[in-house]
Amino acid sequence: MASVNKLLATPAAKPIVFVLALLPAAWLVWGAVANTLGANPAEALIRATGDWTLRFLCLTLAVTPLRQMTGWHALARLRRMLGLFTFFYGVVHFLCFAWLDMGFDVDAIVHDIAKRPFILVGTAALLTMLPLAATSFNAAIKALGARRWQALHRAVYATAGLALLHFFWMRSGKHDYAEVAVYAAILGVLLGWRLWRRLRPAPRPALP
């Protein structure tokens, strides 16, 4: 346990995680340039960036439970970076849709968002991440105060629910629910753990 904490606390830990988190984006860019994304590269890019948004959301939400269960407290250093990468892949996912599907036609984008519920929900999920990303810096924490900052960042629960609903509706068209069930189980465990921690009775003080 101490050795893992020591590794996570080293100055090299953050740059290594940063590079690893960029690898999926680099792989997708290379696939687009090399034309290895299959018969429909636009759909492959949109789907892949959405999948990576969900994966990074799960990783971000897993930091606190893993830290408290294992004692790897240095994991907290990585949570902010993972959260920002969740937002990064969410933005790239939306941009791929806006560019590759809509050709950056603003009227068409707005019409499609209003017309198709799964895109509306996905856009709402991205919008809930915007204030979280904007206030993920130390100056914002000082300006808001720890209590208000924590209350604001509980919006990640809404993000998780909306992202999962977006994924469910997107896959329901092809009646493909296997991956949806996996993400639902992971997010259910992570959010359920937080709810249990919040609602459990406070420990009784030890008798003298």
Q: Which domain holds residue 126?
A: 2-198
Q: How far is residue 183 from each of residues 92, 170, 186, measured CA to CA in Å?
A: 20, 14, 5
pLDDT tops 80 at residue 2 = no
Tens digits of per-residue pLDDT, 129-175? 999 999 998 898 889 898 899 888 989 999 999 999 999 999 887 77
Q: What is the pLDDT of residue 207?
A: 47
Question: Does any domain span residue 41?
Answer: yes
208 pLDDT higher than 60: no
In a domain, 165, yes or no: yes
Mean pLDDT score of the chain, rounded to an integer? 91
Q: What is the DSSP letter of 104?
A: T
- Nearest alpha carbon to residue 60 among 37, 39, 85: 85
Q: Using only the alpha carbons of the chain, give its radius of gyration.
A: 19
How many structural domains does the chain have? 1
Question: How many CB atoms sit inside 10 A of residue 179's CB?
Answer: 13
Where does the pLDDT of residue 59 fall: very low under 50, low under 70, confident under 90, or very high at 90 and above?
very high
In a domain, 203, yes or no: no
CB-based contacts of 50, cutoff 8 Å, min separation 6: 93, 122, 166, 167, 170
pTM: 0.93
Judge whether 185 lies within some domain: yes
- Taking the C-alpha atoms of residue 92 and residue 135, their distance in angstroms, rounded to an integer, is 20
Residue 115, domain member (yes or no): yes
In a domain, 156, yes or no: yes
The better pLDDT of the pair 140, 49 is held by: 49
205 domain residue, yes or no: no
Helices (H), 71-136: 76-96, 106-115, 117-134
| Nearest Cα residue to 150 out of 140, 165, 161, 160 | 140
Is 206 contained in some domain? no
Please answer whether residues 118 and 169 qualify as being in contact, where contact means their C-beta atoms are separated by less than 8 angstroms.
yes
